[in-house]
Structure 1
Amino acid sequence: MILVTGATGAVGREVAGLLAGAGPLRILARRPERVSVTGPAVDIVAGEYGDRSSLDRALRGVGAAFLVTNSPAEPDDERFAAAAKAAGVRHLVKLSMMAVEEPGADDFITRRQRENEQAIRESGVPWTFLRARTFMSNTLSWAPGIHSEGVVRALYGTSPVACVDPRDIAEVAVRVLTEPGHEETAYALSGPEPITAEQQTAQLSEVLGRPLRFEELGLDRARDHLFGRYPRPVAEAFLESAERQRAGAKAGVVPTVLELTGRPARPFRTWAADHAGAFRPVAA
């Protein structure tokens, strides 16, 4: 039995979808009604990381688990790893971030991810870390501006990032969850090329067949937006991350997707074409 968490998110949904037809699959979800993956061998369990009894129920009989956590404040990785250890889970695959292995990254979110990885190491459960670069799907946040104005707004337009398709992360995750020999290993995952927000905007324009304009947010506007939406440490972390990207720290490409799946990582243009409907206005 494999357990998947985060099945309503960009990566977890893809992992669950790939595993649904392969054998017994259990999904832990805080809101089970939002889980779209179904099948005769799929068991959906309601629960959350702060509720140990729900973790115990979800992990009963599980051999391997895919872990996605999002809260920078709660010790969810530690909670899950402790429950996994008690349940006899033999392999814990955690979705992490590439920045944890980069000495220049010292923002709040990166520090917390390092602490989360360490908690899993110390739990005694055999682990694998999937350290992913920025998700291509993050550009879905541009959809409202594209719908209403044909405009993409972001902090820096010319800073490159080797963003990765969540489907590629999911295929690696499934390989790691279902094959032996990946324990105590951390895999860095990137897309096939660095790309800027201006270039992404141009490719979206071509895919959609309509003109799009990129508008660079000034630092003050970006700061106001982030501080109005997130707690201060998180907002500051996003700003620090943007500065690192501007300096080229996120442009490096790694061949892990090819090495583990046997095919190259998908470029942004492919992701954009496959998700073009999300950027098209909804018909009245």
Structure 2
Amino acid sequence: MILVTGATGTIGREVVRLLPAHLAVRILARDPAAVTGGSTTAETVQGDYEDPGSLMRALSGVRAAFLVTNRIADDDARFLRAARSAGVRHVVKLSAAGVTDGEAEDLITRWQRGNEELWRGSGLEWTLLRPRLFMSNTLSWAESVRTHGVVRALYGTSANACVDPRDVAEVAVRALTGDRERYAGTALTLTGPEPLTAVRQTAQLAELLDRPLRLEELGPGQARTVLAERYPRDIVEAILERAEQQRQGGKSEVDGTVPALLGRPAGSFRMWARHHLSAFRASMEPVSAAGQSPCEPAVTMAEKAD
């Protein structure tokens, strides 16, 4: 049995979609009704990290688990206690590439590093997935692109080796279902094929949409005001610190792990954007149902994109 958490998020829902239908899969969700896209044979159970009983029920009979945690809290420790009691053998943990940035000491990165250390010392088999910024975070631009032809971004000329979430999910599935000796005890940095700036992403979107787009670069003060509408002050400051690391070039390095594991090139932003183009189209433009995708926030604690 494989347990998937975070199944309503960017990576978790792709993991659910990619897991082979013949495998026994259980999905843990606070709101089971929000889970979509899984195999008809997958079991969905209600639970919460703060409810030990629900964790034990969800982990009963589970041999491997995909773990996403989304709060600066002790959710990893709670899950670990239940996993040990239930006899889970392998946990694939979604972390972030920022833990390797030696200069990064913001609140979110310190929390992620602490979680990684927890799993390293857990006594269980573990695999750490360290993605860079998710390409899907650009869906936060969708409304302003649709209505005004504008992308608003902080530090528009700073580069990030952003990754296609589908690549991250495919690696997660291979770690959950493949050769345990290959994946156990590994920390995998997952990036796209090239570092990209918001300027270049805007240009590629404009070309694909066949309409002019312009970039409005936000200053730190403007970004702080926008983020404060969604997050507590300490999280806002951590996000801005991470953005500063990117501005200094700390997130532009391309890693070869994705192509090495998947046997193909890492997905490009152009390819990802083409697949999700309907999200960026103006309402009067034709929309392809196959490319429909919901808008998502630029930064989510649940996904820990970096």
TM range (shorter): over 0.9
AA aligned opposite 2:281: R
1:175-194 matches, cutoff 5 A: 175-179=174-178, 180-181=180-181, 182-194=183-195
8 Å CA contact 1:20, 1:38 repeated in 2: no
1:197-212 matches, cutoff 5 A: 197-212=198-213
8 Å CA contact 1:14, 1:167 repeated in 2: yes
Counterpart residue number, 2:113: 114
Aligned pair count? 283
AA aligned opposite 1:240: E
Counterpart residue number, 1:83: 82
Counterpart residue number, 1:226: 227
Counterpart residue number, 2:71: 71
8 Å CA contact 2:16, 2:39 repeated in 1: no
AA aligned opposite 1:106: E
Counterpart residue number, 1:101: 100
Deviates more, 1:248-257 or 1:209-218: 209-218
Deviates more, 1:26-35 or 1:222-231: 222-231
What is the CA distance between 1:117 and its match in structure 2? 1.2
What is the CA distance between 1:20 and its match in structure 2? 4.8
AA aligned opposite 1:100: V
Q: Please list the CA deviations of residues 190-230 of structure 1 after superposition, one character each: whole Å capped at 9, or x if unmatched.
A: 00000000100111111112111111012221122223321
Partners of 1:53 and 1:235 lie apart in 2 by: 33
Q: Please list the CA deviations of residues 225-275 of structure 1 after superposition, one character each: whole Å capped at 9, or x if unmatched.
A: 223321111101111111111111100000001111111100100000001
Partners of 1:143 and 1:169 lie apart in 2 by: 22
Counterpart residue number, 1:60: 60
Residues 1:32 and 2:32 aligned together: yes
1:158 partner SS: coil
2:229 partner SS: helix
1:156-167 matches, cutoff 5 A: 156-167=155-166
Partners of 1:52 and 1:207 lie apart in 2 by: 48
What is the CA distance between 1:283 and its match in structure 2? 5.5
List structure 1 runs of 4+ shifted beyond 3 angstroms. Answer: 281-284
Partners of 1:22 and 1:239 lie apart in 2 by: 44
Counterpart residue number, 1:42: 42
Partners of 2:262 and 2:147 lie apart in 1 by: 39
TM-score, scaled to structure 1:
0.97
Counterpart residue number, 2:135: 136
Partners of 1:153 and 1:191 lie apart in 2 by: 22
1:250-265 matches, cutoff 5 A: 250-265=251-266
Deviates more, 1:172-181 or 1:267-276: 172-181
Partners of 1:171 and 1:282 lie apart in 2 by: 32
Q: Please list the CA deviations of residues 59-86 of structure 1 after superposition, one character each: whole Å capped at 9, or x if unmatched.
A: 11111000011112x2111111111111
RMSD: 1.3
8 Å CA contact 1:20, 1:42 repeated in 2: no
Counterpart residue number, 1:7: 7
AA aligned opposite 1:221: Q
1:93 partner SS: strand
Partners of 1:61 and 1:197 lie apart in 2 by: 45
Counterpart residue number, 2:301: none
Where structure 2 has 5 or more consecutive residues not aligned to the other structure, the ranges are 286-306
Q: Please list the CA deviations of residues 134-189 of structure 1 after superposition, one character each: whole Å capped at 9, or x if unmatched.
A: 10011111111112111000111100000000000011111111122111111111
Partners of 2:176 and 2:283 lie apart in 1 by: 38
1:260 partner SS: helix
Counterpart residue number, 2:218: 217
2:212 partner SS: coil
Partners of 2:24 and 2:155 lie apart in 1 by: 45
2:95 partner SS: strand
AA aligned opposite 1:48: D
What is the CA distance between 1:103 and its match in structure 2? 0.9
